Amino acid sequence: MSIAGKHIVISGGGSGVGAAMAEVFAKAGGKVSILGRRLEPLQEVAARTGALPVVCDVTDAGAVKAALETARETHGPVHVAVANAGAALSKPFAKMSAEELNSALSVNVLGVFNLWQAALPDMKAEGRGRMICVASTAGLKGYPYVAGYVAAKHAAVGLTKALALELAKTGVTVNALCPGFVETPLLERSIENIVSTTGMSEEDVAKALKKDNPQGRFVQPEEVAEAALWLCSEGAGSVNGHTLTISGGEV
């Protein structure tokens, strides 16, 4: 599937991986719509990429449907839906609340469900399409002090695998990208939280986190974006229900 002229919707498009994806897909000739809760970051990405910014809370199914209607008015039917919006809370399991667990599930799982379900009719009508979830290595293994995030990303991977089988004969593929620690504002906030709770320096926290990656570095947003672009290529047409790790060999 050539991306040129196709409509790509990316949630969490205002920063980090989502912003990198907007740039990569726009450069490849795609018509990009980016969703996010705050207009200003979306507008900054839009100014660089030409993407259409649409304010939307992905945990609200009605808001997602309305956002896609707005996006369709400019770019037409959705051909690629990238569920990238996510959030992580670092806290010992014993101190977590049920509300915090539900919040992790809402953003990282329900947000994927809402976007994919809203985009699915367009892809079924077209007889082809790509659904991509930006999960995490936390969807494939455990990490301490982020139990809610790990549980949510495992659920997102499970949703990916189930839907891939359900849609296998429709021409729509469903896959998950599972990066390790990516150098984004989300990671910066996590490092700040660890610093405030442990007293470690930022340098020491970053060094400890990089140890998980055999390459000894953080994954770059552009690397995840390029992987998403490849999943949309003709050559990836038989890649379905897959969890593509981008982790330097960690998983």
Those residues with Cβ within 8 angstroms of residue 92's Cβ, 6 or more apart along the chain or in another chain: 145
The single residue of 25, 116, 149, 218 carrying the catalytic annotation is: 149
- Tell me how far apart the alpha carbons of residues 217 and 72 are, in angstroms, rounded to a whole number: 39
For residues 63-97, one letter each, b for 16 or more C-beta atoms within 10 angstroms of the residue's C-beta and e for the rest, the string is bbbebbebbbeebebbbbbbbbbbbbbbbeeeebe
Distance, CA of 184 to CA of 16 (rounded, Å): 5
CA dihedral 153, 155, 156, 160 (to 10 degrees): 140
Q: How far is the C-alpha of 172 from the C-alpha of 225, rounded, in Å?
A: 19
Task: Give me 82's structure tokens.
Answer: 């990238």
Contact in structure between 174 and 129 (CB atoms under 8 Å): no
* Distance, CA of 89 to CA of 84 (rounded, Å): 17
Please give the full DSSP string across 191-213, using - where no structure is assigned: HHHHHHHH---HHHHHHHHHTTS
- The question of whether 149 is a catalytic residue gets the answer yes
SS3 8: strand
**Catalytic center residues:** 149
